[in-house]
Amino acid sequence: MENEMLNEMNDSCCNLPHPERKSHHSEKTKKNLVTRLNRIEGQIRGVKGLIERDTYCDDVITQISAIQSALNSVAKILFEGHLKSCVVERIQDGEMEVVDELLVTMQRMMKR
């Protein structure tokens, strides 16, 4: 029983080798993210339809801007959760290389 609890604790995204790391979002957060992504997916299909119907370019660009904003919102939610869980846990475990990983992630996010 105790070994099972230790295994569960070690299955957080912070304690697994990089390819095996997983997030540990609440079900509410996952549902929120999936809902947002489903909406974005619909918006992308809508933009495709606008292009197929030769819609005025400015209108298409406006829709693309809305999609980019929605994707940024998803990224912010994920980033906040990552900071508050994985990054904090790894720092507490003495894994300071997570700071470099975080800086690379922030640079990628700021390129947009």
The pTM for the full model equals: 0.75
Percentage of the chain lying above the pLDDT 70 cut: 81
Instruction: Give the pLDDT confidence of 22-34 residue by residue, as tens digits.
Output: 777 899 999 999 9
What band does 41 get if pLDDT is binned at 50, 70 and 90?
very high
What is the chain's mean pLDDT, rounded? 85
The answer to whether the CB of 86 falls within 8 A of the CB of 14 is yes
End-to-end, the C-alpha distance of the chain in Å comes to 47
pLDDT of 35 higher than 70: yes
CATH superfamily for 28-110 is Metal-sensitive repressor, helix protomer (1.20.58.1000)
Domain positions in the chain = 28-110
